[in-house]
Structures are given as C-alpha cells and as structure tokens.
A and B are shown apart, each in its own frame.
Chain A
Amino acid sequence: MKPFLATGVIALTTALSCGQVFANKSDDTLHTAFSKELESVDFYFQSAREGTIFARQVWDGLVYRDQTTGDYVGNLASSWKWVDETTLEFKLREGVKFHNGEEFDADDVVFTVNYVVNPDNHVTVPGNVNWMKGAEKVDKYTVRITTNGPFPAALEYLSGLVAIYPNDYYAEVGPSGMALKPVGTGPYRVESVEPGKHFVLKKFDGYYGGPKGQPSIGTIDIRTIPDINTQLAELFSGGIDMIWNVPADQAEQLAAMDQFTVANESTMRIGYITMDAAGRGGEGPFAKKEVRQAIGYAIDRQAIVENLLKGSSKVVNSACFPSQFGCEQDVETYSYDPAKAKALLAEAGYPDGLTVDFYAYRNRPYAEAMMAYLADVGIKANLNYLKYSALRDMQKKGSAGFGFLTWGSNSINDVSAITSQFFKFGDQDFARDEEVKTWLDTGDKSVDDKVRKENYSKALKKIAEEAYWIPLFSYNSNYVFSKDVAFTPTPDEIVRFFDMSWK
C-alpha cells in the first residue's frame, strides 16, 4: 500500500517537470545524479567524492588497484620498480592517446607530478600529492618519481589520487580550462560541462583498454541534485537510472517495491567518538581513562548498526577500517554493558553522572541514539550539530574535544590514511600520546611490511586500551538503479561507469 501511495505522490510532483524526453537503454544513455555541487571537475582542485568518481572515468593513473584481488596492476605504466627507498621507476605504456589526440609519454607524467607538488599551484588537498618530491624523465617511456622520505603507501596513492594530465594542453589552458573542457586518457571523454550542474560523458572510442577495460554504455549524463527525496522522485519518474548513498530506511522500502535493483556495499568510512584525553580544551572528565572507557561500554553499537545503518555495516573496534593495511583487529573491545559503564563513572568520581557538550556534523539520528545511551548511564550530552568545516576549525583550536565524527580515508587501503592522520599531534589529535606517535611514525616511514604491521599494531592496541577513540561502525552505501543496468558496487565507494552495462 505504502509504496503505491509514494509512487502516486511522486508521479504527481514530477509530472510537471517531465517535459524533457528521457532516454535510457533505448538510446544508450545512463542518467545519474551527484548529491554535491562540484567546485571544479579538475581533479586536483576539489575535494569531493563526486570529483574522484568523475576523475576515474576521464583520467587514468599510473597504476590501478584491482578491486577483486586487491593487487596493483599497471594502468598508464606497464611496469615499475623501486630503484632505492625513495625512487620509483615506471615504464610507460606506449601508443596511448589523450582525448584531444595528444600522445601520452613521459613528459605528461613529469609535467603533472611537478605541477601538483609545486606549492605555488595550491592544489586543494596537498596531502594527496605532497609525499612526492617530483618526477624526472629518463627516456620517452621511462619516468622516475622521487618521494620525500620512504613512503610505503606510494602505489596506493598513485592508484587513487594522481591522475595524469596532458602536458601541452594543461600548460596552455590551466586549471580553469581543464574545469570547462577536461582532457584525459580515460574510458570516457567529456562532451559538455556546465560547472556544478550538468556533465555529459561519451564513450572514448580510442581508449586503449587496460585494467579498466573498454566502457560499454555510450553516454553518461550526470546532473547535480542535492536532495535525496528529489533524487528518488526522479528515479520513480524515470528521469534518472541510478542513485547512490540512499539512506538505509528508504533503500529497504525501495527493495520491497521490487521496481529497482538495490545493492548494498560497505565503504571505508568509519564512525568514531573522539574524546579530549589530553585536556586541550582545559582539564575535563575525559582526561580520566575510566570515563573514556565508560563511554565505550555505554553505547550499544550493535543495536545502532542493526537498526540504523543496516546493510553491510559492522561494528568496528580498532581505530581504522578492517581491510586497511596494518589495521590490527586483536585490540581491547568495549561491548554494551551499561552497568559496567556506571561503575567506571563512579570509580572516576562521577557517581551522579556528568554533563558534557557533544559535537557532531552528520547523521544526526545516530548522534541522538548515542546521546540516549549516554543518558541511560547518567551522562547528559548537549548536542552541538555543526558543519564539518566549523567543527574542524574548533578542533584546531583545541575545543569540541568530545564528538561523533567519521573518516573515509580517501578510500586509501592503508592505516596511514586514518590512524596516522589523527594520532600524530595534528589538529584533530586529542590523545597526544608520544608513544603512539613514535610507533605510527616508524610504521609510516618503513618500507618493510613486517616492521609496519608491528608498529601499527602497537599503536592501535594502545589507542584501544586507553580508549582515546571509541571506534563505532563502518558505513555502507546503498546503490539503487534501474533493472536494465548491470553494476556491482565496490567497497571503495567509487562508481565505475565504465564497468556498467545494459542487461
């Protein structure tokens, strides 16, 4: 009954906006939507997930991580080797052409790398590229990339965060030109760009194949539709064929309607509670280990996962996503035990409970659920719900030390992308533990996998033991698409249009 009612409502609301002719399988066009307005489609001058998705279709990196095996395979590079601890030498694939006909060779790699590492060019997320010192050409199809000190996660970063640009074209048009008329080597070429609004991609006939394979669907039409309810309405009316990041409750209802394919896949994003153990915002209750542990025992993470996140989300106990390299799983866990939480609070000198400010920036229902659990053990949490940028600014200054935050690791499958980001005395480090920092530094700098694992393990064990963070759960994403579309989502939250086909 409900789904029909919903369909009726939607049909009504969208009837007016259906003036345009929708196409799909019949004319080989897949319509989809971005939730966020992209600042720029130039990959290096934006920081949104949508920008990464766009970049994967249009550009290639030197290497590519196979999603099923997890191995790195050559993309624009055909082979590579470590010359020494800080030098990677790549042999490049020959005969690759950019969308504008320019030939791909070592000059393009050298230009791109040296352009993005130059601080004067102000790329949006310097951390993605500033581990590289620069690149130099050896011959037409050989190039060397040097790093600033040993950087074991180099291949992971190269596979996800370094898109190779055409040197002649980029030197001529710069980021502003690239944002309007992007040119790459990827499986799709860009037909048109209306900045922040509408992007049309066409299959690139001269694509060389490689690990991404030849694209199957002819045209990808992407519009920016920020509101999930509008996206759903468009989906019902046939205006779009696929959406993702659909909230769990809606996805459940959609699956029950059996009109669309609903696929669920975990993501690398995890939620966590951070606490001001170091007392950066003045001496507070969280300086006491018992209070921090009590928070862990007070919250029924399993119930939140089962009822709110659903799908393939799991409770997380270590301060990283389980599949990440070095993510030690054998750590102290805090299972739901309100009596123990109360006892710990009493032991810490708060037998009557306490009142604290609690900060959050997304998933307000999750935050509210946690607050209700905290209230049950006597912790009155006042919610401060802010924008992420505002919250981060407060944390820079040492305030907002108690909050529910999340981190997606930029889909980098390595502990250095999360634990090392937060426990090495950065802006958002409220633990300030010298020992943890030393272990993480050793892990980050070593190229020996055994040494890395060992040190990360020590750091993660201490983080759990001291309860600096209460890791909560991993997120999942629901992909809803037309039954005509064949698509398998991947855990890195990147939608690969080139992997999709019509049934």
Chain B
Amino acid sequence: MANAPALTAETIVAISPGAMLRRRIFGHYGLLFGLSVLALVVAAAVFAPLLADHNPYTQDLFARMKPPFWMAGWDPDHLLGTDQLGRDYLARLLYGARISLLIGIVTALISGMIGTALGVAAGYFGGKVDLVVTFLINVRLAMPVVLVALAIVALFGGSLQIVILVLGFLLWDRFAVVMRSSVMQIRGLEYVNAARAIGCSTTRIVLSEIMPNVVNNLIVVMTLEMAHAILLEAALSFLGLGVQPPTPSWGLMISEGKEMMLFQPWLITIPGVALFLLVLAINLLGDGLRDVTAPEAKG
C-alpha cells in the first residue's frame, strides 16, 4: 500500500476485520477446495450408515469383484462394485473414511499435545529446558518413522489403537520445532514483559499471552501432521502391519486389491483416489489457513 502513492482517499475504505477475513477466505481457491472436500469426507464418514445400504463386513462369496458403475456388467445394488470377498466397495470406502479421519485427528491431537508442551516449554524457558527439548527433538528426528512404526507394530501386533498410539508418539517433532521457535520470538515482546511485570503466573502468561499468538502456526502444523498420519496408516496397513482386516481401511483396500491390479484395476484406483483427494484436501486446507491467518507469511 505504501508503494501506491497514486491512490486517492476515496479508494481507501476502511474494511472491517471480519469482512477482510471473509474476502481472503473466498479468494483462496485452494482453501475452498480443501475445505469442501474435507467436509464431504467428514460427512461421508459421519453418515456412512445412512449413505451405504450394505454392511461393510457382510461378505457374499457368490458376488465377488463386481465392477463399478462406469464399467459394463455393473450391479445397481453395488455402485462401486464389490471386493474379492463380495463385500460392497462403497460401504467399505465410506466406513474406511472413518478410520482414516479417526487416525488423522487422534494422532494429530496426541502428537500436538506432546509437541506443543515440549516446544512451548523450550521456547519460553530457554536455557537447560531448551537444551533437553532440543536433544529430544534431535533424537526423535534421528529415528526413521516408518521403520520404528513397523518394528513396534510387528512386536505388539497391528490394531487401530496401536497404530494411533505409535503414530501419535512419533509425529510430535514438527509441533515441537515450530512451537519452540514461534514462542521464542514472542517471549521477549512488550506485552509478555508487561504481564510478567504485573505479576501474572507463568501458566497465565503462557495460556493467555503466548498461546493465542502462536495458535495459527499450530493449526497449520496440525493439518500437515493429520495428512501425514493418514498416509502413514495407509502405508502400514498396505504392508499388513496397520489396521487388521476385516476393518475397512483405505490402505488395506489398496493392499488387498494389489493382486488383482492387472485385471480389476478399480480395486486399487478407487481407494487410491480417495486417499489422494483426502490428503490433498487437508494439505490445501493447511496452506490456506496459513495464508488467511497470517497473510504476511505468504511466500
């Protein structure tokens, strides 16, 4: 704005912050796309029992591998066809969305709590606390996530709970790094010093002075980690070490369809496309949120 001296007074109309935000949101197509796809997946997951008129666990060995609706010979009873045990593919896809979202959200919450606690402590207190946390972050970064997850799951057996716990306790590093550096930038600012000077408790300073100013970073990292966790779950399930059958999981569906790749390619393309869209949507949403809440950081 400062570089536009030609502007006249009439064009500079005061815009309310709310309207500004709305304008930013609706002008950001990536954000809109991400938001709508995510909303769609959430709706599918929540209303799965209403949308699917089949039970995802009911097998019918006499109706195996029926093709989906865009191919010849499809069965109106099974819009997306059936898998190699004759289970309705649409039902499995919808219920699979529940698993993916559940894993994404719970993992992001667990890792978010661990990472934020460590990062804020390191950034706010500095000194020895910072040294310890930095050491922990380094240790964590030195561990290859997939290998550690594989080892733990192989040791304790795969199940939904174990996958969520393993991923939750492995994916906190980015939270810690981002929180640490953002808190460091803020802790020396005047209003924090003022709060300290009037005798506010540390808890109060952290919760009401620091957190509100770093929460936009937190949300961005959270969306990224959600997408990351969903992909990792799919990878683990694909390798047979994640969610165990017959639970419908997109990764597992891809893994089960792999053998049929040449002749029944839709068995892997349908869950594959679903996974791709969901992860893309979450990433776009994260990017969009960053752009909207902190436009100055837009690169």
* Residue interface mask B170-207, A partner, CB < 8 A = 1: 00000000000000000000000000000000000000
B138 touches A (CB below 8 Å): no
B61, B157, B265: the one within 8 Å of A304 (CB):
B61
Q: Is A6 a contact partner of B72 (Cβ separation < 8 A)?
A: no
Known: A365-B84, A365-B85. A6 touches B263 (CB 8 A): yes
**Cα distance A247–B246 when bound, in Å?**
21
* Residue interface mask A457-478, B partner, CB < 8 A = 1: 0000000000000000000000
Q: Is A307 a contact partner of B263 (Cβ separation < 8 A)?
A: no
Q: Determine the chain A residues whose CB is within 8 A of the CB of B159 once the complex forms.
A: 382
Q: Determine the chain B residues whose CB is within 8 A of the CB of A383 once the complex forms.
A: 244-246
Q: Is B262 a contact partner of A249 (Cβ separation < 8 A)?
A: no
Known: A249-B65, A303-B61, A364-B245. A369 touches B85 (CB 8 A): yes
**Chain A min CB distance to B225 (Å):** 28
Q: Is A229 a contact partner of B261 (Cβ separation < 8 A)?
A: yes
Q: Is A250 a contact partner of B263 (Cβ separation < 8 A)?
A: yes
Q: Is A369 a contact partner of B262 (Cβ separation < 8 A)?
A: no
CB-nearest residue of chain B relative to A252? B263
Q: Is A303 a contact partner of B62 (Cβ separation < 8 A)?
A: yes
**Chain A min CB distance to B155 (Å):** 11
CB-nearest residue of chain A relative to B263? A253
Q: Determine the chain B residues whose CB is within 8 A of the CB of A372 once the complex forms.
A: 57-59, 85, 246
Chain B 246-299 residues near chain A, CB threshold 8 A: 246, 256, 258-265
**Cα distance A383–B247 when bound, in Å?**
10
**Chain A min CB distance to B228 (Å):** 25
* Residue interface mask A91-118, B partner, CB < 8 A = 1: 0000000000000000000000000000
Chain A 356-402 residues near chain B, CB threshold 8 A: 364-365, 367-369, 371-372, 375, 382-385
Known: A303-B62, A307-B62, A368-B85. A382 touches B262 (CB 8 A): no
Known: A365-B84, A372-B246, A384-B157. A9 touches B256 (CB 8 A): no
Q: Is B256 a contact partner of A249 (Cβ separation < 8 A)?
A: no
Q: Is A250 a contact partner of B262 (Cβ separation < 8 A)?
A: yes
Q: Determine the chain A residues whose CB is within 8 A of the CB of B62 once the complex forms.
A: 303, 307
**Chain B min CB distance to A231 (Å):** 11
Which residues of A does B touch, CB under 8 Å? Answer: 1-3, 5-6, 9-10, 228-229, 232-233, 247, 249-250, 253, 300, 303-304, 306-308, 364-365, 367-369, 371-372, 375, 382-385
The 8 closest A-B pairs by CB, nearest first: A307-B61, A253-B263, A372-B59, A303-B61, A6-B262, A383-B244, A368-B245, A365-B84
